[in-house]
Amino acid sequence: MRKTNTLKRPTLDEQFHFDTLAIHAGQDPDPSTGAIMTPVYMTSTFVQSAPAEHKGYEYSRSGNPTRTALETLIASLEGGRYGLAFASGLAAIDSVLRMFNPGDHIIVGNDVYGGTYRLFMRVFARYGLQFSWVDLTNLEAVQAAFTPQTKLLWLETPTNPLMTLADIQALCEGVPPGVLVAVDNTFASPALQQPLRFGAHIVMHSSTKYLGGHSDVVGGVLALNDEQVYNELKFLQNAVGGVPGPMDCFLVIRGIKTLGIRMERHSQNALKIARFLEDHQAVKQVLYPGLESHPQHDLARRQMHDYGGMISIILQDDEAARRMVSRTKLFALAESLGGVESLIEHPYSMTHASTAASPIAVDKALVRLSVGIENVDDLIADLRQALA
């Protein structure tokens, strides 16, 4: 006769370090088999013992055990109470914006991912949301932008692609009562920065990037503390339906297990490459918060545990930028970022093409690097020949 046990690990709390939480938070052995890895619950529906009597799950759009494991994990890593997983980073942002009504006002940093700009201005602006694009490094300008209708301050730090930092704590301390602060933490990951601890209300990630870390899944997540905001976002997650499948959730969970050590290597490689590029005659400017020349290097030291794997550089002109990105061998010419392999791109014509005719258009001479975890000497050699 088979003995039935409910296997449960001790509850994890903040006494554990980040790398331990990344492996164990939300991860309990399967109660029926003892399997140490979270199963992939490939099911669309769940059997009920009687009408409206179930074991916590009814339909996989509303909830799935594999997704619950990911949501618990991301909440723990960000130091939050609640997590929500979505089919993409933009699906996560979409749910945040759906909390607001026509006439509501949102302040946005004037350097953001092109997809965010497109979603805000070509989708939500059509339905009556008002947007102000503000330099978030200028706290006086931010204060001047608030109106009685302001409901949200949306920021990235570091920004994509200019690697500008926002002082999360200072911005959070300056918002009027009732205004939410949401931080896109994709570039840093929770391994390097935890915005909830600085006062943010919502943290968003494209889990496609560093969380997944292997360029094999598309997803998005939110982490937060406020129960009322969570309930509203949970409702929208189910009602709108932009949820990830269980296999996508499993891949992100698996990727997160090595997030800490990957971010160490990404950061080490990026700093060495940034210093190499800063000394190269073909490069006009290197944008990387780990460099002492970065205007917000001191803020990066206070706010981040390390500086991450993203670098932007400005070359002489558009032609030089296009030539460089076409000549690399190890750095693959591709959109996205945060994988173990190094990528290079030309934001003006690729990830930020949607901003080309806007006030936040990027420089045509800008090149963005997502530094992987390959041998750094090989990566530097590749960049040297591409710039020759």
Q: Is 121 helix (H, G, I), strand (E, B) or coil?
A: helix
Instruction: Verify cis geometry, omega within 30 degrees of 0, for the bond prior to 246.
Output: no
> Is 209 in the active site?
yes
Q: Pick the catalytic residue from 209, 262, 364, 368.
A: 209
184 is catalytic: yes
| DSSP 3-state of 311 | strand
From the list 41, 113, 288, 307, the catalytic residue is 113
CA distance 133 to 93: 17
The rounded Cα 5 to chain-centroid distance in angstroms is 38
Clarify whether 122 is annotated catalytic. no
Spatial CA neighbour of 64 closest among 43, 89, 91? 43
Burial (0-12, 13-18, 19+ Cβ within 10 Å), 101 = exposed
Q: Which residue among the candidates 19, 28, 61, 197 is catalytic per the annotation?
A: 61
Amino acid at 212: G
| 385 phi/psi in degrees, rounded to 5 | -70, -30
57 vs 280: CA distance, rounded Å: 57
The answer to whether 145 touches 134, Cβ cutoff 8 Å, is yes
The answer to whether 367 and 321 have CB atoms below 8 angstroms apart is yes
Residue 118 annotated to the active site: no
Q: Which of 184, 248, 306, 382 is catalytic?
A: 184
By the 8 A CB rule, do 345 and 335 touch? Answer: yes
Residues serving a catalytic function are: 61, 113, 184, 209
